[in-house]
Structure 1
Amino acid sequence: MSPVVAYSLQLAPRVLRGLFRSTYSQLAMAKPCILATRLGAPGAIYKCYAPCIEKHFTIIPTEEFTQNRQTLSDSIQAVFVWGGALVVDRDLLQSLPNLKVVVNGGVGVDHLDIPLINSFGVKVCNTPHVVDNATADIGMGLMLASARKILDGHNYSVCHDSDDLPESSMGSDVSGATLGIIGMGRIGYKVAKRASAFDMKILYHNRNRRPEEEERAVGATYCAKMEDLLKSCDFVMVVVNLSPQTHKLIGAKELALMKPTATLVNISRGLVVDQEALVDALQRKAIGAAALDVTYPEPLPRGHPLLSFPNVIVLPHMGTHSRETTGVMVERMITNALAALRGDTPPNEVKV
């Protein structure tokens, strides 16, 4: 090998690194850089939303950042968190000197250490309100699917051995039944509005009672004690935020208070319900059924006991999983990030 060729080979990596730095420097000058899990990767924002984000930002995927941390650290001004694929910890924060905001897609921010992030002078934002209708819709969908055994009917249609529906396929009416809503915030109230259209009797338990005019609008009755609600309802829907106070809020004691024919619907967070206690209650037929959009972990591993019950529906956290809602969430993430980078107060800053 000639000395010239050998020198060229030695020089090549440095040239490539220089080109890489130059390319990203040019991009950073044109648009602010954000760190995000590669779009389309498992647990990341879908690729179809890339044009919307790239209109305003240069996206630096986490893999490229890991491989070229020294080169890219100064360029990143925002982090987009979607699901749990990207962990914002002290190590990451220390490596991003120009970071101004961490934007979470969705309402729940229990996976973010907000005091730690704020201690670096970085704001935290989420996308509230956007998810309210979609989450309320999935709650009603789960309740209806469980009560009327819609999945049983579909499975019968796919692989029936006779023309007669089995007695076990008979469901229960939702209209006229009693729904208990634990957590009457924005989403809980939207659930109540939908349930009132089904002529359901609505009870609710909340830290604070709603104004009487709001109760009358949906025909809801306040229960100061959650125990009173649990004893009285045909369906119990949990719609609370996850916090130390709501961690395993529904456990063995609460499940024992429910009617043996009642259905538990959880559209909040998996850890709000004690899953071991729920499995035990279902095995003992202490409650009638369960319909869950959220679990821990998500999705449940194959062979998990909750997946073995014919009277249990389990979804992999699909409450906000619609084209329209996801699109609005991404747009709201962009709005929050742009505001923070301008030095303005983001419309959805989360403060502790």
Structure 2
Amino acid sequence: MAKILCVLYDDPVDGYPKSYARDGLPLVDGYPGGQTLPSPEGIDFIPGQLLGSVSGELGLRSFLEKNGHTLVVTSDKDGADSEFDRELVDADVVISQPFWPAYLTAERIAKAKNLKIAITAGIGSDHVDLQAAIDRGITVTEVTYSNSISVAEHVVMMILSLVRNYIPSYKIVVDGGWNIADAVSRSYDVEGMDVGTVAAGRIGLAVLRRLKPFDMRLHYTDRHRLPAEVEQELGLTFHPTAQDMVPHCDVVTINAPLHPETEGLFDDKLISTMKRGAYLVNTARAKIADRDAIVRALESGQLAGYAGDVWFPQPAPADHPWRTMPHHGMTPHISGSSLSAQTRYAAGTREILESWFAGRPIRDEYLIVDGGQLAGAGSHSYSAGNATTGWNG
């Protein structure tokens, strides 16, 4: 029997919900491109519930305990004496989230003598030292596509919020004011702007599709060029690198995974090549952008706005400079954790566990590392190496 260590974020401050704003979820038949939704043999939760917090337990406890396994769920993940560190030493399975990541560093992996599989409840496994997992033969998985559309919707919301100056305008109302000039002095239309995505995978392409009706000119860069028919359908301009693309764009959105090739990409040098007054949106990973370079660019006016919901570390400390820099639209890491998305990533986590317990192959699209090498989605999107350390570490 296995010990499963699951790290989830805390419950709401007023306690686990007794009711919800809506009575259910719309039916989604599948993902764009034909990938099917998670298909576990069963679920022990009601779709639309809060599953990503400690009391939600991803709906796993009944399933695991009925089959003789041990489930430990905690939000205490940081520091040498955290519950995560204490429980990790004999855990067979670790489940963690991008939103509240338990950083599986090489040091932690070395202490976890029984660890066989690390599962990301969501997408993005950069909180795992992939090189250490490769060296140890640990399988790394994530629930690919489970919340990609959720993130794409969040990106579009943030682009419109920045360009239309929504957040300061809303604050005028909350504060009892009515100064229209203050509200519109930084407000523009997105119509006619050039927008580019760094990476055009599931999220990046979904963003482009959603922006097409706004009559923006669409650009992208990716290590894998899209089919010609997709470029023609959306009127896309391809650029070989981010360095080639960003000088042409009024808005840039980052939708790439974090790995050694993307860490620190948006530094002072690259940002200086962007149009003055461009907007940058980052719902991918914080360390793709240099923290202090972003602050400097907003203070100087090189960037007109920065929005995102990814930080390093997570949770961000109270004195993190992104909390107080000008013209930002930051949120905690929520873009991929809507209640709709939670239903999918909880079901996908159970599907992965069912396959692993039964000795069946895990879906190829869920695999990041397997058999001592990058595999499945990991071989397409990641590079071997480590992105779990500090800034530029």
Q: Shorter chain as normaliser: what TM range?
A: 0.7 to 0.9
User: How far did residue 314 of structure 1 move?
Assistant: 1.2
1:349 pairs with 2:378: no
Partner residue, 1:54: 61
Q: Equivalents in 2 of 1:286, 1:277: separation in Å?
A: 11
Partner residue, 2:6: 36
Q: Equivalents in 2 of 1:90, 1:201: separation in Å?
A: 45
User: How far did residue 209 of structure 1 move?
Assistant: 1.8
What letter matches 2:102 in structure 1?
A
Q: Equivalents in 2 of 1:102, 1:45: separation in Å?
A: 17
* 1:286-344 Cα deviation digits (max 9, x unpaired): 22111122222334433443333441111122221200101211111111111011111
User: How far did residue 247 of structure 1 move?
Assistant: 0.9
Q: Please state whether the residue corresponding to 1:116 is helix, strand or coil.
A: helix
Inter-CA distance 57–308: structure 2 relative to 1 (3 Å threshold): same
CA contact (8 A) 1:77 1:341 kept: no
CA contact (8 A) 1:93 1:120 kept: no
User: How far did residue 120 of structure 1 move?
Assistant: 4.9
Please report the RMSD computed on the Cα atoms of aligned residues, expressed in angstroms. 2.7
Q: Please state whether the residue corresponding to 2:346 is helix, strand or coil.
A: helix
1:248 pairs with 2:248: no
The sequence identity of aligned pairs, in percent, is 24
User: How far did residue 245 of structure 1 move?
Assistant: 0.9
User: How far did residue 92 of structure 1 move?
Assistant: 4.2
CA contact (8 A) 1:33 1:57 kept: no
User: How far did residue 33 of structure 1 move?
Assistant: 4.3
Q: Equivalents in 2 of 1:299, 1:183: separation in Å?
A: 25
Inter-CA distance 307–49: structure 2 relative to 1 (3 Å threshold): closer
User: How far did residue 65 of structure 1 move?
Assistant: 8.7
Higher helix share: 1
Partner residue, 1:3: none
Structure 2 residue runs of 5 or longer lacking an equivalent are: 13-50, 66-70, 75-81, 375-393
* 1:224-270 Cα deviation digits (max 9, x unpaired): 24334211211111111111111111111111111112101111110
1:166 pairs with 2:181: yes
| Residue correspondence of structure 1 range 1-352 to structure 2 within 5 A | 33-37=3-7, 40=10, 45-47=52-54, 49-50=56-57, 52-58=59-65, 59-61=71-73, 73=90, 77-82=92-97, 83-85=100-102, 87=104, 89-94=108-113, 96=114, 100-117=116-133, 120-161=136-177, 163-170=178-185, 171-347=187-363, 348-351=366-369, 352=374
Inter-CA distance 272–69: structure 2 relative to 1 (3 Å threshold): closer
Which piece of structure 1 moves more, 298-307 or 329-338?
298-307
Structure 1 residue runs of 5 or longer lacking an equivalent are: 1-27
Q: Equivalents in 2 of 1:68, 1:226: separation in Å?
A: 42
User: How far did residue 64 of structure 1 move?
Assistant: 7.9
Q: Equivalents in 2 of 1:110, 1:250: separation in Å?
A: 18
Q: Equivalents in 2 of 1:346, 1:56: separation in Å?
A: 18
Inter-CA distance 116–189: structure 2 relative to 1 (3 Å threshold): same
CA contact (8 A) 1:279 1:305 kept: yes
* 1:75-99 Cα deviation digits (max 9, x unpaired): x5432223323747235421x3xx5
Inter-CA distance 327–157: structure 2 relative to 1 (3 Å threshold): same
Q: Equivalents in 2 of 1:337, 1:269: separation in Å?
A: 26
CA contact (8 A) 2:195 2:217 kept: yes
**Structure 2 length-normalised TM:** 0.72
Q: Which has the larger radius of gyration?
A: 1
**Structure 1 length-normalised TM:** 0.80
Where relative contact order (Cα < 8 A, 6+ residues apart) is larger, the structure is 2
What letter matches 2:306 in structure 1?
A
CA contact (8 A) 1:93 1:117 kept: no
Q: Equivalents in 2 of 1:198, 1:39: separation in Å?
A: 36
